[in-house]
Amino acid sequence: MIEWLIIGGGIHGTYLSNLLTSETDVSPDDIRVLEPHDRPLELWHRHAHACGMEYLRSPATHNVDIHILSLYRFAKSALGSDSHHFIPPYNRPSRELFKRHCESVIRRRRLSRMRIKGRARALTRLAGGIAVETDHHRIPSKRVLMCIGQTEASCWPDWSIRAREDGAAIYHVFDPDFNPAAPSPRERTVVVGGGLTAVQTALYRARTAPTPVVLLSPHGLRKSNFDFDPCWIGPKCMRGFLSAGLEERRKLIDTARLPGILPLV
């Protein structure tokens, strides 16, 4: 039985595997990351590429390493200069810099050796731990960390499903077979959505497509530097969250999120 099993190998799962091996006395042999994809952060990088992301929304201090200045230091040591890799506000890093920094951290900390390829299908209680049933085997662990998101559950409105079944050329930007560099149709491209992904996709298509691009949003464009109040980074908001029960925590997360908004710059 291992000490820690992390389900999900994206940004959060990768960071937590780094944190546990760097800041605790737990052996890397007692930590595993269960992930269905071949490479760490594979789905995150695929989606960032699909929507044409050039710079992250988060500041450079938010990265998968432990030290808050790690990404700055990497930019200076590995690239010689960091001037064009960050944009205001809050020094948002380029996607290319963030990708190279993640690869460096994963390689330097040897995080890939902790990974197990597969999907969690069920959890059952064991004496002293939890058994996680995967596609091929069972993993007993004393503790399980859930680091899964909604990135594989693409949201298709009913009208889009019906139109696609009738032969309409409708794609979801996060579908595995979506190609952002595919040739544009003769007519205009319509991007449906009013959040950051939709706007990034529309801007990318506008730069690369020879035909007009239309952004169809259900609301006016909403602006905010972050998709949450920065008070959640420190004790001001986290104090109450940590003292709340699980159901109350879920409600706090749901109300704290600010979906469908864009950074001011």
Indicate whether 131 and 237 sit together in one domain: no
DSSP result, 18-36: HHHHHHSS--GGGEEEEES
Looking at the structure, tell me whether residues 133 and 176 fall in a common domain: no
Q: In this predicted model, what pLDDT tens digit does every residue of 75-84 receive, in sequence order? A: 988 877 666 8
pLDDT at 83: 66
Question: What is the mean pLDDT of the segment spanning 65-87?
Answer: 86
Mean pLDDT of 164-181: 89
* Whether the predicted pLDDT of 211 surpasses 90: no
Q: Which domain holds residue 210?
A: 158-220
User: What phi and psi, each to the nearest 5 degrees, are found at residue 6?
Assistant: -100, 120
Q: Which residue from 151, 112, 88 is spatially nearest to 32, judged by alpha carbons?
A: 112
Task: Answer yes or no: is 153 within a domain.
Answer: no
Handedness of CA 42, 47, 48, 49 (dihedral sign): positive
Tell me: do 47 and 27 sit in the same domain: yes
Tell me the CA end-to-end span of the chain in Å, nearest whole number: 49
Do the domain assignments include residue 40?
yes
> What is the reported pLDDT for 222?
92
Tell me: do 10 and 108 sit in the same domain. Answer: yes
In the numeric block, the tokens 């859930």 are attached to 146
Same domain, 111 and 174: no
How many domains does the chain contain in total?
3
Confidence class for position 187, pLDDT limits 50, 70, 90: confident
Residues 36 and 138 in one domain: yes
Domain with 101 in it: what CATH number? 3.50.50.60
Between 153 and 238, name the one with better pLDDT.
238
For the cut 80, the answer to whether the pLDDT of residue 183 exceeds it is no
Residue 152 lies in a domain: no
Query: According to the model, what pLDDT value does residue 136 have?
Result: 87
Q: Which pLDDT value is given to residue 79? A: 77
Residue 60 counted as domain residue: yes
Task: Examine residue 211 and state whether it is found in any structural domain, yes or no.
Answer: yes
Residues 92 and 195 in one domain: no
User: pLDDT at position 36, please?
Assistant: 94
pLDDT of 89 > 90? The answer is no
Same structural domain, 246 and 216? no
225 lies in a domain? Answer: no
Within the chain, strands assigned E span 2-7, 31-35, 86-87, 92-93, 115-117, 120-126, 129-134, 138-146, 189-192, 213-216, 222-223, 261-262
The residue out of 94, 115, 146 marking a domain boundary is 146
Task: Average the pLDDT over 60-75 and give the result.
Answer: 94
Q: Give the global pTM.
A: 0.90
Q: pLDDT tens for residues 123-147?
A: 999 999 999 999 889 999 999 999 9
C-alpha distances (whole Å) from 237 to each of 12, 231, 240, 256 are: 20, 5, 6, 10
Q: Is 89 contained in some domain?
A: yes
What rounded mean pLDDT belongs to the chain? 91
Least confident among 16-25, 111-120, 168-177: 168-177
Q: What's residue 82's pLDDT?
A: 61
Residue 36 falls inside a structural domain: yes
One domain for residues 119 and 24: yes
Residues 121 and 18 in one domain: yes
- 50 and 86 in a single domain? The answer is yes
Final residue belonging to a domain, choices 122, 146, 170: 146
Q: Let me know whether 190 and 237 are in one domain.
A: no
